[in-house]
Structure 1
Amino acid sequence: MFGVLKNRYVIQGNIVFKTPLHIGSGESGTRTDSLVVKYFNGEPYIPGSSFKGVLRGTLERIAPVLGLDSCLLYSGSECGKVIREEIEGNSDLKKMVENLPDGEEVYMKYLLEEARKNRGLCRTCRLFGSPYMASRIYFDDLQADNSVGNLRYEVRDGVGIDRDTGTAVEGVKYDYEVVPQGIKFSLRARMENAEDEDILLLAVGLRELTEGIRMGGMTSRGLGSCKIEGLEITEFLLETEEGKKKFWAYLATGKLPPGAIKGETFIKERILAAFPETGEKEAKPC
């Protein structure tokens, strides 16, 4: 499936936070119980894995509405569990796995492919990856823009709440660090060998980002509200001569070619291609 590069989509934009952001590092400091993730120079960033997880979770909920199958990770319906059950239920496959010599990775891939043929992977697992298939989309860490040189982090207080009485629990007080609102983080992602369903999922995910989502911790308390701005997608269709030439130029210069597709155009075109009956109609006067 991934042996030959057939297409590549480069996604770029800025994630702008309308409310403060907290993505915890798992560490405490002298000022606060929970520090945000930072580079060694003290600048905040959003791990690519965190952003990918938020986008994946968003699309897992929406995919069935689009007529696409989607499992839920770490649930009884996840694809990994289904494939393991397929191997367990197929005596021939199970015997092969049990007798597999160490280091026989190629043969193991064959066995997993046999299991996938019978039960398959859902669309979100095919796009974002699973223990049995590599991801088709990759996210760089999102770096803060250059205006954060003198950034002053905020520290917020929190208390434990008794859910029965709705009052604060005595002795359960903590605080946490947040990145102040208004900070921009640069987004760069790459999707390769995408099928029509992958492109539809990407377009819907980007639509959600343009409308606004929440990211990080403490989102139920108002943190992490963000949108994407300046969205552009560069498309390399490598099964056409024009697409190959554009890709060769990119490889030679290291620069993306001009003519990137504006985010709104890409989103509309891809969604309407999948659901042409939803084309924009002239609004009726009230």
Structure 2
Amino acid sequence: MPLRTDRVVVRYEITFEAPFHCGTGLPRRLVDRSVQRDATGYLFVPGSTIKGLVREACEQIVRLFGVESASPHDEQAAIREFEGTHWLSCLFGSRLHPGTLCFDDALLVAEDRAFFGGAGGGTYLSQQVSERTQVSLSRLTRTAKPGLLFSSEFGVPGLRFAGEIAGTITDFAMEDAPDTTYALVLLVAGLLSVDHVGGSRSRGAGRCQIRTTAIQVNGRDVEAKDCLQWLEQLEYLTYACEGGGVWCTS
């Protein structure tokens, strides 16, 4: 089965259904944990956050179908990459090989930007976030730890962000779908599987829905549903890939 290289663009939209926290790790004014903002003051979701979540979702999907999933922190897996690049590394990169996809930051959609910007420009930017006061709890005593009261910013529910994944994918093509590859099917499935973004997810923050707005392969439009109908074919990657899960050649 020959390999092929496609130029791929996947555009998507995130709609948050709960408060979310994509933090900077730095305080802002009187708030201890601030959220990411662009140069004009609008919230955004870092592309690196999306990339990590999509990779995690893709690893879970392929394990479901019985395909080997090498950890990026596995020393033995890193050594095996000298013989051939693992299929996940082809999409997301590894310590030895750069990824071929670029995950852009997801920016607030134009309609929401206009709403918070106001006629005067930036009039209602502060309404993008709400502040919460939190406390760290002791697992031993199940009471509040002294001196560990802190405040956090959370984006308000209902905000929408538009992002893009672009680059090249080298993989095996589907015999009955000339514009679809195993890697593209996995990428779309992983993206749509993400249902929480940002920090404090264990406390219910960051719940969201992601939908694709456009998928292009070599300039031709492809529907997400057409990709997902081939999802069950991922189980055949075990047989299609020689060497036990090596996808791309080095």
The equivalent of 1:263 in structure 2 is 224
- Alpha-carbon offset, residue 84 of structure 1: 6.1
Contact 2:12 2:163 in 1 (8 A): yes
Alignment partners' CA distance in 1, 2:235 and 2:62: 14
Residue number among 200, 203, 207 corresponding to 2:185 in the alignment: 200
Alignment partners' CA distance in 2, 1:50 and 1:264: 25
Which protein is bigger by CA-based radius of gyration?
Answer: 1
Over 3 Å counting, the alpha-carbon distance change for 1:29 and 1:166 in structure 2 is same
Residue segments in structure 2 that go unaligned for 5+ positions in a row? 118-123, 173-181, 237-250
Contact 1:69 1:123 in 2 (8 A): no
- Cα distance per residue 1:1-21 (max 9 Å; x no partner): xxxx83122111211111111
Structure 1 outlier segments of 4+, above 6 Å: none
The equivalent of 1:55 in structure 2 is 54
**Where do residues 241-280 of structure 1 align in structure 2 (5 Å cutoff)?**
247=219, 260-268=221-229, 270-274=230-234
**Greater relative contact order, per chain length (Cα 8 Å cut-off, separation 6+):** 2
The equivalent of 2:177 in structure 1 is none
Give the alignment's TM-score, normalised by structure 1: 0.67
Aligned residue identity for 2:40: N
Matched residue SS, 2:132: strand
Residue number among 57, 64, 82 corresponding to 2:76 in the alignment: 82
Contact 1:70 1:125 in 2 (8 A): no
Residue segments in structure 1 that go unaligned for 5+ positions in a row? 87-114, 237-246, 248-256, 277-286
Does residue 104 of structure 2 align to residue 140 of structure 1?
yes
Matched residue SS, 1:194: strand
- Alpha-carbon offset, residue 83 of structure 1: 6.0
- Cα distance per residue 1:10-54 (max 9 Å; x no partner): 111211111111111121122300111111111111111111011
Over 3 Å counting, the alpha-carbon distance change for 1:203 and 1:41 in structure 2 is closer
Alignment coverage as a number of residue pairs: 212
Give me the identity figure in percent.
Answer: 25
Residue number among 215, 230, 236 corresponding to 2:197 in the alignment: 215
Alignment partners' CA distance in 2, 1:84 and 1:266: 30
Does residue 33 of structure 2 align to residue 34 of structure 1?
yes
Matched residue SS, 1:13: strand
Q: Which has the higher helix share?
A: 1
